[in-house]
Amino acid sequence: MESTILFYLLSAMSVISALFVVFSRSPIYSVLSLIVCFFTIAGHYIMLNAQFLAIIHIIVYAGAIMVLMLFTVMLLNLNQEVSVHKFNLTKLMAVFTGGLLFLVIVASVKSSTLANYQAPAYLNIGNAEDIGMKLFTDYLLPFEISSVLFVSAMISAVLLAKKEIK
Amino acid sequence: MEIILFKTILVLVLFLISLGIAAYSTYAERKVAAFLQDRIGPDRAGPFGLLQPIADGVKMFLKEEIIPNHSNRWLFILGPCIFMLTALMTSAVIPWGLPLEFDGTKYALQVADINIGVLYIMGVLSVGVYGIMIGGWASNNKYALLGAIRASSQMISYELAMGMSIISILLISDGSLSLSHIVESQKGMNWNVFYQPLGFLIFLICAFAEANRTPFDLPESESELIGGYHTEYSSMKLGLFLFAEYINMFISSTVISCLYFGGYQFPGLAYLSAHLPANVVSIISIGALFTKVFFFIFFFMWVRWTIPRFRYDQLMRLGWQVLLPLSIANMLITGGVITFFNL
């Protein structure tokens, strides 16, 4: 009972804050409501018994990435609510891609069976040890490949930030 | 039912203890500074100036409150609130002592023994910077903004090395992320500091940087940035910022004691718990933890009045080019030794 109330509360908060990200005129409010949205999603993870995922979500997204985002917004002083002039073609393409995304979401919601939903059988997902065992045995190759992806992103970031050697 | 009541009382007690220790840390800081500089320090309010924190608090509340004209009013108020909230949140996962016993039921002196305790601390720490950033930005003052930016980049840089040194701790304590387990694994004098001296040093330096204490208090360095991120704050909002910083110092000292100095463990605890009633031993163990905590609070103050402030580029170089490689090397060596000797 309590968990149902909590679920609806969290869901309402995440939907409202996500809408606020899009509709807010001031970028700083967008960033702040995105942080709130991340926290509510972390709450959902905890309700799914995935504490490890929840805390990693908070550390990585709310704690590091959003700090950098806020940092950029503050440094560029994007406080002025200016609306950048957009070309008609840009608007058209935005509507088109947004519509495509909407189509994908509708399709996935339609194909899912909510009526007889079963909770996942594997309940120990919250345990760091279990996640480690899974990652390093069953999912070793995807794990290694994604780490290669991260290394390449890091190297390119360093290259971009490096000063020109004269 | 009783367990909920007990936890509620524990939360309240922890809240009051945090505030009390923070209040008396301000007094202790002045006394330590006075001692190190061969002065007397505050001695007018009450015997030995012991009522000085109360006088300061009253002064803070009675001061005029100013919200700058072109600032963002709500964010300006939100900043110190978030900073205070995150400062108080960490104490939830710390094991404060051996369990108390009433009517044959054991009550653990820990609000939440979650299996991700260490990560929880890192998470709260990384969120804590928002208070400073929002407050500094909303002040609409370039000094405050510079202070906020310094604070956030400093925190992000030192979090990495801190996390790496924590990983070495996890390696030697059976990979459990629960703080109570880490403390229990340091029975007697098996304190992690003896196995991880380098990791301890890195963690200590990072704790100084995360708590914005001298020699890393560049976000509020008064000689260049007036007051840094709290330049525009007055009255109790400024009080909250300063107060939360002392709470952060208290909590960092507690975390250092738990991770590296055995928390409530001390040699002879096993003997005592065999011969004395459980509640007496529990109180003695709390006393042991607080002795360590008070030593580290003193250490924080000692360093503040001894070592001059870093320059900002030196701070960044230390974080990225010295501490981070050292902590990674420390982690690799720890892992290698454990694998090689099958410990």
User: What would the pLDDT profile of B10-57 be if each residue is shown by its tens digit?
Assistant: 889 888 988 888 888 888 888 888 888 888 888 888 788 888 888 888
- Is residue A82 very low, low, confident or very high in pLDDT (cuts 50, 70, 90)? low
HEC letters along B235-303: HHHHHHHHHHHHHHHHHHHHHHHHHHCCCCCCCCHHHHHHHCCHHHHHHHHHHHHHHHHHHHHHHHHHH
User: Alpha-carbon distance B159 to B319, whole Å?
Assistant: 9
Q: Is B63 helix (H, G, I), strand (E, B) or coil?
A: coil
Average pLDDT of every residue of chain B: 84
Smallest CA–CA distance from A70 into chain B, residue: B133
DSSP assignments along B145-165, one per residue: HHHHHHHHHHHHHHHHHHHHH
Taking CB atoms and an 8 Å limit, are B130 and A58 in contact across chains?
no
Q: Which of A58, A75, A128 sits opposite B123 (nearest CB)?
A: A58
More confident residue, B118 or A82: B118
Q: What is the pLDDT of residues B301-315, one digit of tens each?
A: 888 888 888 888 888
Sign of the torsion angle spanned by Cα atoms A78, A83, A85, A90: positive
User: Alpha-carbon distance A20 to A15, whole Å?
Assistant: 9
Place of tokens 């463990």: B265
Taking CB atoms and an 8 Å limit, are A58 and B177 in contact across chains?
no
Taking CB atoms and an 8 Å limit, are B129 and A68 in contact across chains?
no
Please say whether the beta carbons of B199 and B165 come within 8 A: yes
User: Alpha-carbon distance A47 to A52, whole Å?
Assistant: 12
Question: Quick one: pLDDT at residue A153?
Answer: 92
- What percentage of chain B has pLDDT greater than the value 70? 99
Smallest CA–CA distance from B78 into chain A, residue: A32
pLDDT of A100 strictly over 90? yes
Amino acid letter for position B90: T
The residue among B72, B86, B116 with the most chain A CBs within 10 A of its CB, best to mutate, is B116
Tokens standing for residue B96: 């404060």
User: Under the phi-then-psi rule, with left for phi > 0, alpha for psi from -120 to 50, and beta for the rest, what region is B102?
Assistant: beta
User: Alpha-carbon distance A122 to B194, whole Å?
Assistant: 39
Could you report the predicted ipTM of this complex, rounded to two decimals? Answer: 0.80
- Is residue B67 very low, low, confident or very high in pLDDT (cuts 50, 70, 90)? confident
Taking CB atoms and an 8 Å limit, are A67 and B129 in contact across chains?
yes
Taking CB atoms and an 8 Å limit, are A71 and B114 in contact across chains?
no
- CA A147, chain centre distance (Å): 19
Alpha-carbon gap: A14 to the closest alpha carbon of chain B (Å): 18
Instruction: Please report residues of A whose CB lies closer than 8 A to that of B134.
Output: 32
Tokens standing for residue B172: 């030697």
Taking CB atoms and an 8 Å limit, are A51 and B153 in contact across chains?
no
Question: Quick one: pLDDT at residue A3?
Answer: 79
Question: Quick one: pLDDT at residue A114?
Answer: 65
- B160 has a chain A CB within 8 A of its CB: no
- B209 has a chain A CB within 8 A of its CB: no
| Interface subset of B 174-203, CB within 8 angstroms of A | 175, 177
Question: Quick one: pLDDT at residue B149?
Answer: 84
Taking CB atoms and an 8 Å limit, are B149 and A126 in contact across chains?
no
- B153 has a chain A CB within 8 A of its CB: yes
Question: Quick one: pLDDT at residue A40?
Answer: 92
Q: What is the pLDDT of residues B223-266, one digit of tens each?
A: 777 777 778 788 888 888 888 888 988 988 998 888 888 888 88
The residue among B139, B177, B229, B316 with the most chain A CBs within 10 A of its CB, best to mutate, is B177
More confident residue, A37 or B108: A37
Q: Which of A32, A55, A70 sits opposite B123 (nearest CB)?
A: A55
Tokens standing for residue A110: 């339609």
Taking CB atoms and an 8 Å limit, are B127 and A62 in contact across chains?
yes
pLDDT of A123 strictly over 70? no
Taking CB atoms and an 8 Å limit, are A28 and B114 in contact across chains?
no
- B85 has a chain A CB within 8 A of its CB: no
- B116 has a chain A CB within 8 A of its CB: yes
User: Alpha-carbon distance B66 to B234, whole Å?
Assistant: 6
Q: What is the pLDDT of residues B194-227, one digit of tens each?
A: 888 888 899 998 888 888 887 887 777 777 777 7
User: Alpha-carbon distance B222 to B80, whole Å?
Assistant: 19
Taking CB atoms and an 8 Å limit, are B119 and A56 in contact across chains?
yes
Taking CB atoms and an 8 Å limit, are B127 and A63 in contact across chains?
yes
Question: Quick one: pLDDT at residue B241?
Answer: 85
User: Alpha-carbon distance A39 to B1, whole Å?
Assistant: 29
Using CB atoms within 10 Å of the CB of residue A89, give its burial: 0 to 12 exposed, 13 to 18 middle, 19+ buried.
exposed
Alpha-carbon gap: B221 to the closest alpha carbon of chain A (Å): 20
Taking CB atoms and an 8 Å limit, are B119 and A127 in contact across chains?
no
Smallest CA–CA distance from B127 into chain A, residue: A63
Q: Which of A74, A75, A128 sits opposite B177 (nearest CB)?
A: A128
More confident residue, B108 or B52: B52
Q: Domain A2-83 is of which CATH architecture?
A: Up-down Bundle (1.20)
For chain A, the structural domain boundaries read 2-83, 127-166
Q: Which residues pair with B102 in a beta bridge?
A: B105
